[in-house]
Structure formats: structure tokens, C-alpha cells
Amino acid sequence: MNKRNTQQRRRAIVERLTEQGEVSVEELKNAFSTSEVTIRKDLTELENNGLLLRKYGGAVLLPKDAPELTSKEVSKRKKTIAKAASALIQDHNRIVIDSGSTTGAMLPELNNKLGLVVMTNALHVANTLLELENEPTVLLTGGTWDRQSHSFQGKMAEQMLRAYNFDQAFLGAAGLDLERGSTTFNELTQLSKVMAEVARDVIVMAESDKLGRKIPNVELPWQAISTLVTDDQLPAEAKKTIEQHGVEVICASSPANES
């Protein structure tokens, strides 16, 4: 199974996952004779297309009741959420942006904001910010590079964050638990907690289909979250439950003329 092209390899990964229910990066790297970096990119893209859920060191099948979304639908939801989240940012705000595809979708929207100071723990976020025409001030946490999350983690990154005060922190989520808060497969949750601690408002950006995913690790409890920005497919009862935790819930709708 050497020398498969990207699409063939990704299709084979999904087939293997369907058979086994769970796969590891190490297993896939050996099976397809490629690098861990390549496999992680494959898993990230497959998750973005709604075909699996990432977990620490690998991936698992989506819950059986999870809606099947096309890549176009996933991208559309992320952009809708990103636009609504960016509307919360005022000129000259000091903000933190965590790594992740949903938070990353917000970056082009920041070109309309003036005088921003932005700290991030992700190189791709920093690089994108530096290409914006409005030239925000960009700060990088530094720290220990985590290959799973493609971001900096650790004590040094935490110390850097604590040296500043921020107006807002923007974080993604692998899952939403109605009782517990935002959840993740990644066991490295301390930096997210520090981001929340040093920001006046904490905004979690997550698609509605992440509701109810059985994910083990709580990233942020509802008590630490100011606002959840999601799409308009979030059930009304779920919205009410989350609001009872003291969280503002914004259900963003795509423009009617957007295909």
C-alpha cells in the first residue's frame, strides 16, 4: 500500500476506521509508509470533512447519531460562526486566538479591525495574521511544540500569557457537553484554562453537531465561558440549557443568498 496518492490514502484510512472503530497515528504511519506529519494532516482534513473525530494519538468514529456533513457544509458553518464571532471584536482590542480550524476561519475577518493586539499559540495563526493588510500586533506564546495540536503548550507558554491581560479569548472545541462545558480529546488542557483566566470574555466557537459527542476531557467548564458562538442548527432546548449556566449563546445564520 505504498505510494498511494492523498485521496486514496484518506479513503483507505476511513475504511480502516470503519472496520476497527479506532486508529492510531503510529499504526497508520506504518500501514501507509509515510510520516506522522502526513497522517496528522490526513486526520485533520477528514475531521474537517465530518468523517471522524480526532483523539490524542489517533482518531475514532463519529457517534452514530452525528449528522453527516459534506466538506462544503462544514466549511460554510465554520465561516458563519467565524463571522459572528469576529463581530464581537472592537478596534484596538487585545485578544487571544487558540489553534484550531474554527478559530482559524475567523482570521480573514480580522482584516476589518484596526489596532488589534493578538496573541496565539499556533504558528499558522501567527503567519496568517502577519499577512493581513491592517498589520495587527502579533504575539506568540512560545513554549513546547505539541505535534498533536500543532500548537505551543507548556509552562513557558502559560507564563507568557499571564504577562498580559486580554479583552477576549477565542477557543474552539472538539465537543460540547450540556452539563460539563467544552470538551477535547487532547489531554493538554491547561493552556486553554490559562487563556480563559487572562481574558475578560471567553468565546468558544463550535459547530452545533459537536453537541453530545462522548469526549473524555473537559477543556473549559461552562462557568469559565462567557459566550458560545455556534450555528443555527443548535436545538432550542440545548440552547436554553447552556444559557442556564450563565453563557450567552449566539446561533449564527448564513445569509439566505449564500449557497
> Which residue, 157, 91, 145, is CA-closest to 120?
157
Give residue-wise pLDDT tens across range 132-142.
Answer: 999 999 999 99
10 contacts 38 by C-beta, under 8 angstroms: no
This prediction's pTM: 0.77
Confidence category of residue 203, pLDDT binned at 50, 70, 90: very high
Which of 10-24, 32-46, 64-78, 114-128 is predicted most confidently?
Answer: 114-128
The CATH number assigned to the domain holding 239 equals 3.40.50.1360
95 lies in the same domain as 183? yes
Q: Are residues 117 and 210 in the same domain?
A: yes
- Give the domain extent around 231: 71-252
Largest Cα–Cα separation, the chain: 53
Task: Note whether 209 and 182 are same-domain residues.
Answer: yes
Does residue 97 sit in the same domain as residue 163? yes
Query: C-alpha distances in angstroms, 118 versus 172, 179, 223, 246?
Result: 16, 31, 24, 26
Does position 3 have pLDDT exceeding 60, yes or no? no
The reported pLDDT for the residue numbered 52 is: 83
Q: Are 167 and 189 within one domain?
A: yes
Q: C-alpha grid cell for residue 68?
A: 453527516
In a domain, 107, yes or no: yes
Q: What's the rounded Cα separation, in Å, for the pair 125 and 140?
A: 9
Residue 36 falls within a domain, yes or no? yes
Chain segment 78-129, per-residue pLDDT in tens: 899 999 999 999 999 999 999 888 898 999 999 999 999 999 999 989 999 9
CATH number of domain containing 35: 1.10.10
Which residue type does 16 have?
Answer: R
Return all residues near 188 (Cβ < 8 A) that are at least 6 apart: 146, 148, 149, 153
Helix, strand or coil for residue 217?
A: strand
DSSP 23: E
48-87 burial, b at 16+ Cβ within 10 Å, e below that, comes to: bbbbbbbbeebbbbbeeeeeebeeebbebbbbbbbbbbbe
Rounded to whole angstroms, the Cα distance separating 68 from 85 reads: 24
Which grid cell is 161? 500569557
User: Looking at the 3D structure of the chain, how many domains does it have?
Assistant: 2
Residue 1's pLDDT is 42
Could you tell me if 16 and 127 lie in one domain?
A: no
Which pLDDT score, from 0 to 100, does residue 74 have? 64
Check pLDDT > 50 for residue 215: yes
The verdict on 185 and 128 lying in the same domain is yes
Same domain, 100 and 184: yes
CA-to-CA distance for 131 and 37, rounded, in angstroms? Answer: 25
CA distances from 102 to 125, 141, 196, 246 (A): 11, 20, 17, 23
> Has residue 42 been placed in a domain?
yes
* DSSP assignment letter at 143: -
- For residues 174, 38, 169 and 208, what is the CA-based torsion angle, rounded to 10 degrees? -30
Residues 49-92: pLDDT tens digits?
A: 777 877 778 888 766 555 555 556 667 888 999 999 999 999 99
- Bridge partner list, 138: 118
